[in-house]
Structure 1
Amino acid sequence: MTKNRLEAFSDGVLAIIITIMILEIKVPEDHSFESLKPLIPVFLSYVLSFVYIGIYWNNHHHMLQAVKKVNGSILWHNLFLLFWLSLIPFGTSWIGSQLFASVPMSIYGFILLMCAVSYFSLQNKIIKLEGKDSTLYKAVEKDKKGKISLACYIAAVPLAFVSPWISGLLYIAVALIWIIPDKRIENQINKL
């Protein structure tokens, strides 16, 4: 199968996820700057999640540029990724409305962990289909950023009960690791 419908569907879902997140930010009833104060945690959680969705969209786009074909298993693994990404607005809203409390921060981290696991799973299914000579395999065979990210999420989930701020810093650190565009796939494609 070609990858066109997979790309179009994924782009549409990610656009809807971002739209849902912004719609969760309610306009203040008052017209003063003071009325914006309670929205600061909500806005900060939105910014972090927007960055995460952007990172996943960017990396998903690059990964699919290296893909020649897809099969049913890849379609299901892509849906698995989109499922976890679609839970980000829930986590975003919860951490923002609860002022970054322990349980919401832990659940938010679990959602981010599962996004990473499902992305890794999709990547492996693609490599399994295309083989170890594929552009994607050559680009990601030494995936330090991915392993660091998983370790940070695994640590952040229980650490939220020690200090939600430590968890938050780990989530920000992972975002900062990935916000710099990953050139591994582009470099492999350019070698062709």
Structure 2
Amino acid sequence: MRSERLQAFTDGVVAVIITIMVLEMHAPHDVTFQALVALWPIFMSYVLSYVYVGIYWSNHHHFAHLIREVTGGILWANLGLLFFLSLIPFTTAWAGEHGFAPVPTALYGVSLLTTALAWNVLQVAIVHAQGKQSVMKQALGSDWKSKISPLLYLAGIVLAFVAPVVSYLLYALVAALWIIPDRRVERFLKEFERN
């Protein structure tokens, strides 16, 4: 299988995930600004989750260009990633509805952590499929962001029971680290596409 089919399937699932998230946002029943302002936790959780889903989609798009052939291992790792991504709408809705409540904040962090771990599994599957001269491994380099992100998520999960606001700040920090695609990967991708 070529990577285009993997990309097309992932694009479809990501579109559904974003649609589900936006459908979870309901207009206030009252017509006042106070009623609208009361929904800010829901809106902010949606924005953060939208950014996360966008980051995964963007990075997946970049990495798919580094894959010539899709193996069974890559397919299953990709399905694992999509499974954990598909849980984000649920945890987003629960966390948004309950503001800074500890358990929803922690569960939101768990969904972000498991998605990050699934992303790492996908990277490993691609590197394994490509062998010793893995293009993916060369493009990733030291990949410090993939190593530090799970630690920040774990800290956010633990802190959710003490200082939930700090948890959200850590979750936002991880998103900020990833929002701009790694320039090394982009440069390597240009070289790879020329060959």
TM-score (norm 1): 0.96
Rounded to whole Å, the distance in 2 between the matches of 1:180 and 1:189 is: 15
Superposed, which structure 2 residues align to 1:1-192 within 5 Å?
1-192=1-192
8 A contact 2:62–2:189 mirrored in 1: no
- Post-superposition Cα deviations, 1:86-108, rounded to whole Å, max 9, x if no partner, equal 00001110111011211011111
Deviating above 3 A after TM superposition, structure 1's stretches of 4 or more consecutive aligned residues are none
Q: Output the amino acid matched with 2:84.
A: W
Superposition deviation, residue 131 in structure 1? 1.9
8 A contact 1:135–1:185 mirrored in 2: no
Rounded to whole Å, the distance in 2 between the matches of 1:72 and 1:145 is: 27
8 A contact 1:131–1:137 mirrored in 2: no
Percent identical pairs in the alignment equals 51
Q: Output the amino acid matched with 2:111.
A: I
Rounded to whole Å, the distance in 2 between the matches of 1:179 and 1:128 is: 26
Superposition deviation, residue 33 in structure 1? 1.5
8 A contact 2:84–2:111 mirrored in 1: yes
Rounded to whole Å, the distance in 2 between the matches of 1:173 and 1:132 is: 34
Q: Output the amino acid matched with 1:188.
A: F
Number of aligned residue pairs: 192
Could you list the runs of 5+ residues in structure 2 that have no partner in the other structure?
none
Q: Output the amino acid matched with 1:96.
A: G
Q: Could you say what secondary structure the match of 1:29 adopts?
A: coil
8 A contact 1:140–1:184 mirrored in 2: yes
Rounded to whole Å, the distance in 2 between the matches of 1:148 and 1:11 is: 27
Rounded to whole Å, the distance in 2 between the matches of 1:105 and 1:94 is: 9
TM-score (norm 2): 0.95
